[in-house]
Amino acid sequence: MADKDKTMIWPAYLDSKKSQKEGRKIPAKNAVSTPKLREIKQAAEKLGLNPYTEKGKSYPKSWWENSGRVVVDKKFSKRETILKISNLIKSSRS
């Protein structure tokens, strides 16, 4: 995907069960356990990021897992977007 106005969010970016080598992009204390595409999409909708899911896609570091991904509008930096989505998922789970 060559769209510069979009950011891809893979579940591995937010997964507290993954190491940074396995693809987690935020500190483990900010991450959530096994995030679902639905949760990521709902959080992105709350942030007004116009998300859509692409099921059946595989994160390159774990190509054998069809985790899917969520594509969102680029309003913040990638890290900031991931942190905001993770925080919204945490608050919705509690």
From first to last of its 94 residues, what are the pLDDT tens digits of the chain? 457 899 999 999 999 999 999 999 999 999 999 999 999 999 999 999 999 999 999 998 889 989 999 999 999 999 999 999 999 999 998 8
CATH number at residue 19: 3.30.56.30
- Confirm whether 14 is domain-assigned: yes
- Confirm whether 69 is domain-assigned: yes
pTM over 0.95: no
CB-CB contact of 43 with 92 (8 Å): yes
Alpha helices in 1-94 (DSSP H): 37-46, 78-93
Residue 49's identity, in one-letter code, is L
Query: What residues make up the domain containing 50?
Result: 6-93
Residue 2: what pLDDT?
A: 55
- What's the number of domains the chain is made of? 1
CB-CB contact of 4 with 74 (8 Å): yes
- Confirm whether 1 is domain-assigned: no
